[in-house]
């Protein structure tokens, strides 16, 4: 196959909106695309007071299927007059998970603002975040220093100069993003499985005399998910074309990913669509008019997370060759064509 017949495209994250539901035993994160036509489910166990236990079922649902699934979970957690299944918060992405002296917290982006557009890719600035304690057993007294560490962490204002994108890798320069990949690795996760309509399969199983539900009781969420998983089918694949389109998910430049530690516990277990890479620095875009011709000028400054700190304490370079407070600055000029220039800055010793 010739090079002209292969087109590389960045993979757009299918999770751009998140709804967090809670029961006494679990958190359910329902992720969807911006138009809310494709959905994924992430379950987080709340019964373990110290460990982070989560399950990503790698299943992609449509709107009807996710409504049916939520209704099943809500019905299974109904107790008396009150519902044990409630929506807690709406968000736009997961920053990560953190643990101090007790259980884990989940950090969510609850407010965002579009700050720039590069081609067809949108870049967002984090405006507000929410940190939520995961374990449900609040009767147990917390460590006396737990709140002190939490306040120290919250002193880092994540609404100040933190940016991300669902489709554009802002940890790399434009040249790196536009260049064809040097090597292609197989995907870590199989092609998404699409959930079949539950009612249709239930009727089919009923006609065949098969058992419709494996739930031992309606309060068992695990049995509900196990029953649902057995209803999965594969959608028919689209016909192949002579031109091959390949989706590429690039590996970020980790020295510019400021939530890498917050993702370390879950990065290898979650579908990549759940992962957001947060960059700290400055991004600004202006629309100029040059002789009646509109030109977009974009400035991107990426701050390295290695050997960063106050100028009084961080000077020169460390033993690994990382310079103090390194900032990579990129200027992008875009009209009908694109030009990019990169430069660097760091704290030199005096």
Neighbours of 282 (CB within 10 A): 16
Q: CB neighbours of 319 closer than 8 A, spacing ≥ 6?
A: none
Most confident of 157-161, 248-252, 271-275: 271-275
Confidence grade of residue 350 (pLDDT, cut at 50, 70, 90): very low
The share of the chain scoring above pLDDT 90, in percent, equals: 41
Measured at the alpha carbon of residue 309, what is the angle toward residues 331 and 274, in degrees to the nearest 5? 65
Q: Determine the pLDDT at residue 200.
A: 42
Helix (H, G, I), strand (E, B) or coil at 261: helix
Nearest C-alpha neighbor of 107 from the set 330, 214, 265, 340? 265
CA atoms 280, 284, 285, 291: torsion sign: negative
Q: Determine the pLDDT at residue 214.
A: 35
- Domain spans of the chain? 3-188+244-279
8 Å CB contact between 82 and 104: no
Helices 63-76/198-207 angle, 10° precision: 70
Helix (H, G, I), strand (E, B) or coil at 297: strand
Q: pLDDT tens across 232-251, in order?
A: 444 445 445 567 777 778 88
Say how far apart CA 195 and CA 230 lie, in whole Å.
9
Q: pLDDT tens across 291-335, in order?
A: 888 889 999 999 998 888 777 777 788 888 888 888 999 999 988
Neighbours of 50 (CB within 10 A): 10
Q: Determine the pLDDT at residue 109.
A: 96
The mean predicted confidence, pLDDT, of the chain is 80
Largest CA distance in the chain: 82
Sheet holding 121-133, edge to edge: 93-99, 104-118, 121-133, 162-164, 279-290, 293-303, 324-334, 338-347
Confidence grade of residue 88 (pLDDT, cut at 50, 70, 90): very high
What distances in angstroms separate CA 237 from CA 12, 136, 191, 234, 240, one per listed residue? Answer: 20, 42, 11, 8, 9
Percentages of the chain per state (helix, strand, coil), in multiples of 5: 15, 40, 45
Q: Where are the alpha helices (DSSP H) in the chain?
A: 63-76, 146-154, 174-178, 198-207, 221-229, 260-263
Say how far apart CA 194 and CA 178 lie, in whole Å.
31
8 Å CB contact between 29 and 18: yes
């Amino acid at each position: 196959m010739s090079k002209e017949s292969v087109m590389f495209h960045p993979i757009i994250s299918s999770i751009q909106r998140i709804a967090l539901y809670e029961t006494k035993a679990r958190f359910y994160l329902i992720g969807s695309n911006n138009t809310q036509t494709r959905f994924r489910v992430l379950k987080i166990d709340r019964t373990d007071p110290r460990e982070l236990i989560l399950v990503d079922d790698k299943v992609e649902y449509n709107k009807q299927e996710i409504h049916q699934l939520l209704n099943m979970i809500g019905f299974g957690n109904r107790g008396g007059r009150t519902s044990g299944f409630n929506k807690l918060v709406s968000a736009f992405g997961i920053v990560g998970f953190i643990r101090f002296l007790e259980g884990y917290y989940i950090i969510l982006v609850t407010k965002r603002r579009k700050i720039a557009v590069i081609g067809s890719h949108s870049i967002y600035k984090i405006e507000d975040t929410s940190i939520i304690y995961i374990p449900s057993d609040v009767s147990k007294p917390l460590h006396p220093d737990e709140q002190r560490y939490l306040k120290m962490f919250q002193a880092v204002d994540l609404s100040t100069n933190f940016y991300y994108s669902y489709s554009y890798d802002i940890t790399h320069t434009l040249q790196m993003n536009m260049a064809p990949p040097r090597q292609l690795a197989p995907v870590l996760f199989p092609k998404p499985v699409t959930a079949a309509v539950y009612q249709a399969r239930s009727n089919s199983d009923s006609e065949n005399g098969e058992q419709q539900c494996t739930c031992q009781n309606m309060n068992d969420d695990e049995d509900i998910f196990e029953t649902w998983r057995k209803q999965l089918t594969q959608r028919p694949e689209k016909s192949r074309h002579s031109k091959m389109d390949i989706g590429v998910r690039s590996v970020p430049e980790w020295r510019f990913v400021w939530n890498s530690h917050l993702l370390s516990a879950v990065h290898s277990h979650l579908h990549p669509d759940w992962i957001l890479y947060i960059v700290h620095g400055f991004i600004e875009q202006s629309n100029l008019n040059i002789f009646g011709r509109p030109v977009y000028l974009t400035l991107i400054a990426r701050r390295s997370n290695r050997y960063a700190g106050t100028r009084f304490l961080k000077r020169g370079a460390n033993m690994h060759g990382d310079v103090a407070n390194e900032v990579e600055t990129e200027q992008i000029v875009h009209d009908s064509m694109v030009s990019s220039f990169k430069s660097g800055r760091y704290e030199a010793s005096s």
